[in-house]
Amino acid sequence: MTSISQNLRYLPHTLETRYHAVKTYQNGASVAFICRRYKVSKASLIRWNKRFDGTKESLKDHSHRPLTPHPKAHTLQEL
């Protein structure tokens, strides 16, 4: 049995888990049942369902990097 390292806060859900959870939700299963079965929160399930457009690629993680630099960041000339 493998153990989870201390610095890992949570186990990220795989793309397959997300896909099957959303498909089960769209087939009419209750939210509580899906949350128990796939060990996901209600908020995650609803967020994935909003984002889902029929493809697995739509459920991939998005970057958290900002699109624009911070307004007070140094410009290239200053650097």
CA distances from 67 to 15, 51, 60, 74 (A): 25, 20, 18, 16
Q: Write the pLDDT tens digit of every residue in 3-55.
A: 555 555 666 889 999 999 999 999 999 999 999 999 999 999 999 999 999 99
Q: Write the pLDDT tens digit of every residue in 26-36.
A: 999 999 999 99
CA–CA distance, 25 with 68 (Å, rounded to integer):
36
pTM to 2 decimal places:
0.70
For the chain, domain boundaries: 15-55
